[in-house]
Amino acid sequence: MDADSRILRALAQFLDLQQGKHDVHAYAQRARYLVSNIVTNPIDEATKVVTFMKGLRDGPVKTYLFRKYPGTLEAAITLSMQEEFSLRQAKLHANVPRPMPRPVMKPSGGPKPMDVSSATAAGSQQRRGSTNVRCFRCETTITTPVSAQRLCMRTRGDVTILLREYKDVLPDDILAGLPQDKGVQHEIGLVPGMEVLHDAAVATAAR
């Protein structure tokens, strides 16, 4: 194919140029290549601009370019590529998922934890202190805490004092005055409601 045929073919392809499924950059590179092959009787800038804008795919880039209407082919290519880049950036930011806001925790109306600091302190103080306890049986007041040994000594002493107080019932020579043991169990009730003392227990308490 001779040079004139190549020029006519390039001119026909340029005048019928369409963007199709290509991006603006590939479409612009194709337009530049065809224009560079038209060396004889070059096309004027107005025809280049109109042909380039007409071949763009319908959309925001083509609308923007017709609104600006640049004076040269290179200006039209630059504006169209900038507009396409801006649209891609806007779409990219729109598709980025935004973090979900954290739910605000509202205080519920349920029971709140009880402050037990004062109760614990009071309990500790009560355990450390002493308490007076009165016996409803013998009407004796005992200061607690008290050891088991001291309590037993106090009880034995009270029994001894009780036996010595009622001498008319239990005299000192109680052992000599008792009748001879004839196999009969002797029992003496001191105070109504109290446990009955056997003769062996009375003798032991008298000592």
The helix or strand, by DSSP H or E, that contains position 36, with its residue range, turns out to be helix 24-37
Give yes or no for a contact between 140 and 168, defined as CB atoms under 8 angstroms apart: no
Q: pLDDT means per 10 residues in the chain (207 residues)?
A: 85 94 94 91 92 94 92 95 92 70 62 56 52 63 57 49 53 54 58 55 50
What is the C-alpha to C-alpha distance for residues 22 and 24, in angstroms, rounded to an integer?
A: 7
Q: Which residues pair with 131 in a beta bridge?
A: 144
Nearest to 45 by CA among 65, 68, 72, 69: 72
Indicate the pairing of strand 131-134 with strand 187-188: unpaired
Give yes or no for a contact between 197 and 185, defined as CB atoms under 8 angstroms apart: no
